Amino acid sequence: MPPLVPAISPRLRSKLRTLAKTQLKAVQRTYDTLLSLEGYSALSAAARKDIFSSIAFSADLWFQCLLDGTQPTSEVMDQTAAFARRRVHQNVPLRSLLRAFRLGARELWRTCTELAEADPALAHELLFDVSPYLLDYFDAMAEHIAEAYLDEQHQQARWRGSLLQQLYDLVFHAPDDTARFRETVEALGLDATLPRIALAVDLDLRDHAPSVREDALDRFALSAARHFEVKPDALVRVWHRERLVFWLPCVRGDSMTRNDQRAAEHAAALVRAEPRVRSIGIGLMNEGARGWAASVEESLKAVDFAPRGSRADDDENDNEHGDESGNEFGNFVRVHRFSSIAIEESVRSSANVLRYLVSLAEQLATEADLLATLAAWFASGQRRRQTAETLGVHPNTLDYRLERIETLLGAKLDDAQWIARLDIALKLRSATQSSERDGKKKEKKGRLGVKKAKRAAH
């Protein structure tokens, strides 16, 4: 509660009563200064009106308490707390709110010192009686406001967590309930019609105990929001299939291609800044509950079927070597776009087409060096001289191998359709081999775990 009110002389009381009726100037000065603070400058017209009213209310209350010699009632304190609770939902930071109170106290004191300049006989009373009260009063009110603000923030976090869980259930288990999806998204303060892109982030959280993992995810989400240049609340997140999934808002009106490229560029910056990120998969732009779910599946496939960068595993005597080529985002490929494997994925959905393309690669695998030759030829942009140098063979040897590929498959390597077919066939084979390596690694880890358990038992 605010401190006890000091007794003031009739002369000062008369002056303060007049001042209380004309203190709009101090209120306006405080309001104008607040608009430059973080969280206040972007407020809507209605919110700004609420801010001005709360400043005037606080100033009137201080004068009323001082003139009446009474402390604020419980109803007034509840009203003051309500101002603080509204600031939470207006996205005004607590530090800005407390700074606003300090500014208000300063402006009221400046107004009071003007009385002393006009009537020096009041200076002693203002300095030694009114000044300490003003400081103690606003300190107590700031503490009351901070408690209300933090309590509302805690309640909002619990409420938001409940809404996010509801959103998760709708997207992955009831995507056709469009009405509830829209209601839930809008309750989170988001635009349900805005397209989004899903990002699946593979994070290394092995040294985080389950009890502190949520805090680690919160910190990472803040970092991600900075890199994607969006407000933290606009970056919706869930933990799904052992990965952290973000739904990133797209730029309305931009093409799918541009939004895809922008997401990849920002993801690359996040990878460089956050060493805990093993890889990030990026889905395609989509909207609605079913669209959000589809983008998540695409982002997961982008990670699961992408070429692996060359780096040592942490497991003892177990190194994984894959495609060592980098991309435009870094030395090793750690940002994977579904758009890069969209054609292969459409092929996977047709069993007959998939079998046909796999058979092309299998046919080449019957003769040594043909698959490696074709892969090198694609990697060099179908330039024969560069391919021969990469393989370390004579150009005539390369010509023979390419002719042999054409003969075995009945293909034409100057035909765009054959080039597309063989390129996809090689990518499908590479993805299959990568999955097989992962399966063998898991099997090996399982055997090592069993051996360690047996040794420990003995």
- What was the pLDDT predicted at 444? 63
Number of Cβ within a 10 Å radius of residue 43:
18
Could you list the pLDDT tens digit for every one of the 458 residues in the chain?
667 888 889 998 898 888 888 878 888 888 888 888 888 888 888 888 989 999 999 999 989 999 999 989 999 999 999 999 998 888 888 998 999 888 888 988 888 888 888 888 888 888 898 899 899 999 999 999 999 999 998 888 888 888 899 999 999 999 999 999 999 998 888 899 999 999 999 998 888 777 778 888 888 999 999 999 998 889 999 999 989 999 999 998 889 999 999 999 999 999 999 999 999 999 999 999 999 999 999 999 998 876 554 333 333 333 333 333 334 344 455 899 998 888 777 777 777 877 888 888 888 888 889 999 999 999 898 999 999 999 999 999 999 999 999 999 888 998 888 888 888 888 888 777 765 666 666 566 656 655 565 565 55
In the chain, domain spans: 10-158, 188-339, 347-457
Hey, what are 413's tokens?
A: 């390597």
pLDDT, position 446: 56
Kindly report the pTM of this predicted structure: 0.56
Query: Which residues are CB-contacts of 124 (< 8 A; sequence separation ≥ 6)?
Result: none
- Cα separation, 413 vs 370, in Å, equals 14
- Counted residue by residue, the chain has a size of 458
Which CATH number among 3.30.70, 3.30.40, 1.10.20, 3.40.50 corresponds to the domain 188-339?
3.30.70
Architecture of the structural domain at 347-457: Orthogonal Bundle (1.10)
Please give the structure tokens belonging to residue 383: 């330039």
Task: Mention every residue, 6+ apart, whose C-beta is less than 8 A from residue 127.
Answer: 116
Domain 10-158 of CATH type 3.30.160: no
Chain centre distance of CA 190: 14
* Single-letter amino acid, residue 419: I
pLDDT of residue 326: 38
Residue with tokens 């397209």: 195
Which single residue is written with the structure tokens 């330039």? 383
Instruction: Give the β-pairing of 335-337 and 277-282.
Output: parallel
Q: Please, are residues 115 and 122 in contact by the beta-carbon 8 Å criterion?
A: yes
Q: Which residues of 114-145 are buried (b: 16+ CB within 10 A; e: fewer)?
A: ebbeeeeebeebbeebbeebbeebbeebbebb
Residues 173 and 167: their CA atoms lie apart, in Å, by: 10
Distance of CA 198 to the CA centre of its chain: 11
